[in-house]
Amino acid sequence: MKQKIELLGKRTVNALEELGYAISLLYQSLYWLVLGKFYRQPVKLPLIATQMMQIGVSATFIVVVLCFSVGMMLAIQGLETLKPYGAQAQVVTGIALAVSREFAALITGIIVAGRSGSAIAARIGTMRESQEIDALRVIGINPVRYLAAPALLAMLLVMPVLTLFGMFMGMLGASVYTFYELGMPIEIYMSRSFEVISLTDVLQGLSKSILFAVLIVLVSLINGFQVKGGAEGVGLATTRSVVMSISAIVIADMIVTFFITRM
């Protein structure tokens, strides 16, 4: 019993330490992004561009495919569920709102966490193990400025764009199935979808994507920067980073949705 309480205490302390570390990393990253140039240590544009390429451009295809599939799946379920009530036409409204408010941001977040979050954790973990982070420090380069800040800014810029893509592709996927099932032309489906969703719905999805971007980067960074134990440690940190990011995204999404629907 005593051991269990000790273990619980240790885990709680570790979790609080990690939370503190994450907040410190966020603060330092924002500090360098905003004030770095005043100390002649700016966050360099090529680093941000490289991160944007790695996080965003290379994830576009998979975001497009998965959001298209999710939209189509929602259409299949929606049409099937609404069929007995003769309300199949309402599927347009349901999917447009669900995709723009929820699914596009969530699916994009999960894909980026699995793909790019794990890559950030693995890269930083490997750099730590091969003393590259020490090398940065002795060259006089702050690792947060060089590694964390560009990743954060790139993620903040790329995630909303990917989410917008996801929204469009989700509705497109649903329209393709609706055309197949009900014969509703795709352009009509899409124009009705755009009529249904408001700017607030889109902003809701985009604000979630920004929150997810911060969570993914912070989780990946704390795991990467704390790697110990060689290649095995890097592998463990990468796995932990993916699991923690996806959990954080889903739980944060639930909490945010709860409060938004009560506003």
Partner 1 sequence: MSQLSRMQNHHKSQQNAALAIRVDNLLSHYDGRVILNNVSLEVEQGEIMVIMGGSGSGKSTLLRYMLGLEKPSAGKIELLGKDITRMDDNDLHHMMKNIGVSFQGGALFGSMTVAENIQLPLNEHTRLDQKTMQIMSQMKLEVVNLAGFENLMPSQLSGGMVKRAALARAIILDPRLLFFDEPSAGLDPVVSAELDELILRLRDAMKMTIVVVTHELESAFKIADRITILDRGEILMCGTVDEVRNSDNQRVYNLLHRQPRADSVNVDEYLQRLTGEELS
For 46-80, b where at least 16 C-beta lie within 10 A, e where not — what string?
A: ebbeebbebbbeebeebbbebbbebbbebbbebbe
The binder of partner 1 chosen from 1, 139, 199, 263 (CB under 8 A) = 139
Q: Which is nearer to partner 1, 138 or 254 (CB)?
A: 138
| Helices and strands, counts by H and E, the chain | 12, 0
Query: Binding partner 1 by CB under 8 A: which of 132, 179, 196, 236?
Result: 132
Tokens of 234: 């890097």
* Nearest distance, CB of residue 124 and partner 1, angstroms: 12
Cα distance between residue 126 and residue 147, in whole Å: 13
CA distance linking residue 94 with residue 175, whole number of Å: 12
Task: Name the segment binding partner 1 (CB under 8 A); options: 91-99, 133-141, 174-182, 219-227.
Answer: 133-141
Stretch that binds partner 1, among 15-23, 80-88, 101-109, 124-132 (CB under 8 A): 124-132
x-marked contacts with partner 1 along 228-247 as a string, rule CB under 8 A: --------------------
Using the rule CB under 8 A, which residue among 140, 254, 258, 262 binds partner 1?
140
Count the Cβ atoms, other than its own, within 10 Å of residue 232: 10
* Distance in angstroms (rounded) separating the CA atoms of residues 144 and 154: 14
Q: d(Cα 206, Cα 105) in Å, to the nearest integer? A: 7
Distance in Å, CB of 140 to partner 1, minimum:
3
Q: How far is the CB of 131 from partner 1 (least distance, A)?
A: 4
Using CB under 8 A, which of the segments 18-26, 89-97, 138-146, 250-258 binds partner 1? 138-146
Residue ranges in 33-52 that form contacts with partner 1 under rule CB under 8 A = 39, 41
The whole-angstrom separation of Cα 145 and Cα 44 is 9
Q: Given the rule CB under 8 A, which residues bind partner 1?
A: 39, 41, 126-127, 130-132, 134-135, 137-142
